[in-house]
Chain A
Amino acid sequence: MPVIEAVGVSHRYGERTVLSEVTVRLEEQRVGVVGANGSGKSTFARLLNGLVLPSAGRVTVDGLDTRSQGREVRRRVGFCFTDPDAQIVMPTVAEDVAFGLRRRGMAKADARSRVEKTLVAYGLGGYQDHPAHLLSGGQKQMLALASVLVTEPALLVMDEPTTLLDLRNAQLVARVVAGLPQQVLLVTHHLDLLDGFDRVLVFDEGRLVLDDAPAAAVRHYRTLMT
């Protein structure tokens, strides 16, 4: 599993500090992140593939610094956003899944064959030429996932991927995530998705306030919310 390290990480948007002095080392396969809205958990997730660079401190993935080696980091770290509509960049399903492969210079024919296999694996077989925006919410999130996973990242960071989904689709995403061989860092408000996770981080007002097993972390998070 990749080793994620944040050392003395703080982040500010203008005058507002959203993350303060976070130091953590993560090497487990399943890591959960919970916290209230505005607690800094999404910023923390974005730090892990260099989408956000820390105002202070250092973030590394497998020893690669997100500041100076962003390209190498992003090849190892896939990112799945809350809203799949904002993540789907090509008009049709197969084209969107192929996007990341083509950006990495894969030949068209190789990309096509890998895309076909990926679409079947994520329940989108037969949707190759389907307009992406006409998929259902659950299908869009599966497409977003497929588009990230087709590039075979070692770590998948997911920022509230089930927030916009109904229960059935949220469970579908949870099942897919549970079966992934990759290391997964999941930011979520759906606490039941954290069952079976190795470790859960609790953020509050920009600080990492607890780092524990899921049951203890969820208990603490519930206390914070009352």
Chain B
Amino acid sequence: MTSTIGLYVPGSSVLHRLPAGTKLLAMVAVGVLSVFLDRPWQVAAALAAVLAGYPVAGLPVRVALGQLRPLVWILGFTAVFHVVVNGWERAGVVVGVLAALVLLASLVTLTTRTTDLVDAVVTGCRPLRVLRVDPERIGLLIALGIRCVPVVAGLAEEVRDAQLARGLGASPRAFAVPLIVRSLRHADALGEALTARGLDD
């Protein structure tokens, strides 16, 4: 399990020092505003601005590129689809916006401890208590989501290795079925561990 996608990298940059709530709010605001980006130059400017955040946070550009690696297929498929249906310009805008948002979200998680993110989300969700929503649960959900990214990536790696060892080649079914089964088993074990560590108390 070697994936480090989106996991906190310690540092003391201005982005590291910004409060988690501010970063989350900024991310949501940019996400909303991104729907108004419809010119390639606007998207290019947004991408450049987000990429500029990486050196500001003391993170090398290869870290930024690493965040996009798992999305290559999705971005590629989206690009091809839009080139066929809407033309080159639209394809560039859609793929560019997607990439910029993923890079921005990664920049937030790379410069913010998960506990700080969770605390900010819990604070932000407190008003939802009137709707009988438990903010602590939402926070935990986010923490577990972040924790499970490298776990599932690791499981996928193991399944792929097992596939290759048994000479199964690139069979989507032989890859997806064991990955889903193993992910569900992991979820079961994680649930048991959470109970053992006092989640239900």
Query: With A98-B115, A131-B150 in contact, do A91 and B198 touch (Cβ < 8 Å)?
Result: no
Tell me how many residues of B have a C-beta within 8 Å of chain A: 31
Answer whether residue A148 sits at the interface, using C-beta atoms and an 8 A cutoff.
yes
How many angstroms between the C-alpha atoms of A165 and B189 in the bound complex?
A: 19
Q: Are B151 and A133 in contact (CB under 8 A)?
A: yes
Cβ of B195 to closest chain A Cβ, rounded Å:
6
The residue of chain A having its C-beta at the shortest distance from the C-beta of B196 within the complex is: A79
B contact residues around A75 at 8 Å (CB): 198, 201
Contact check, A51 vs B196: say whether CB atoms are below 8 A apart. Answer: yes
A87 interface neighbour in B2, B146, B193, B201, Cβ under 8 Å: B193
Cβ-closest chain B residue relative to A84:
B193
Residue of B nearest to A157 (CB): B196
Provide the B188-199 mask, 1 if CB < 8 A to any CB of A, else 0. 011011111111
A224 within 8 A of B: no
**Is B4 in contact with A131, judged by CB distance below 8 angstroms?**
yes
How many chain A residues touch B (Cβ–Cβ < 8 Å)? 33
CB-based nearest A residue for B7: A131
Quick one: given A75-B198, A103-B198, are A89 and B150 in contact (CB under 8 Å)?
Answer: no
A74 contacts B by Cβ under 8 Å:
yes
A56-73 interface (Cβ within 8 A of B): 70-71
B67 within 8 A of A: no
Chain B residue nearest to A135 (CB atoms) is: B1
Instruction: Please indicate which of the listed interface residues A85, A88, A148 has the most CB atoms of chain B within 10 Å of its own CB.
Output: A85
A211 to B113, CA, bound (A): 48
Does residue B175 face the partner (Cβ distance < 8 Å to A)? Answer: no
Q: Which of B10, B186, B200 contacts A129 (CB 8 A)?
A: B10
Q: Is B154 touching A71 in the complex (CB atoms < 8 A)?
A: no
Residue of A49, A75, A92 with highest tally of chain B CB at under 10 A: A92
In the assembled complex, the CB of A90 is this many whole angstroms from the nearest CB of chain B, namely 6
Contact A89–B186 (Cβ < 8 Å) = no
Chain B: minimal CB distance from A137 (Å)? 11
- Which of A91, A99, A134 is the one whose CB lies under 8 Å from B197? A99
A90 / chain B contacts, CB cutoff of 8 Å: 114-115, 143, 147
Q: Which of B9, B189, B201 contacts A86 (CB 8 A)?
A: B189
Q: How far apart are B191's CB and chain A's nearest CB, in angstroms?
A: 9
Expressed in whole angstroms, the minimum distance between the Cβ of A159 and any Cβ of chain B is 10
CB nearest neighbor in B for A102:
B115
Chain B: CB-nearest residue to A83: B189
B201 CB contact (under 8 Å) in A71, A78, A129? A71
A81 on the interface (CB 8 Å rule)?
yes
Q: How far apart are B21's CB and chain A's nearest CB, in angstroms?
A: 15
In the assembled complex, B56 has its CB within 8 A of some CB on chain A: no
* Alpha-carbon separation in the docked complex, A153 to B49 (Å): 50
- List the A residue with the shortest CB-CB distance to B192: A51
CA distance A116 to B68 in the complex (A): 34
5 A-B contacts (beta carbon < 8 Å): A91-B147, A92-B114, A103-B201, A134-B4, A151-B198
Q: A89-B197, A95-B115, A132-B147 are in contact. List 11 more A-B contacts (CB 8 A).
A: A51-B196, A70-B201, A74-B195, A83-B189, A90-B114, A95-B114, A102-B115, A104-B198, A131-B150, A133-B1, A133-B154
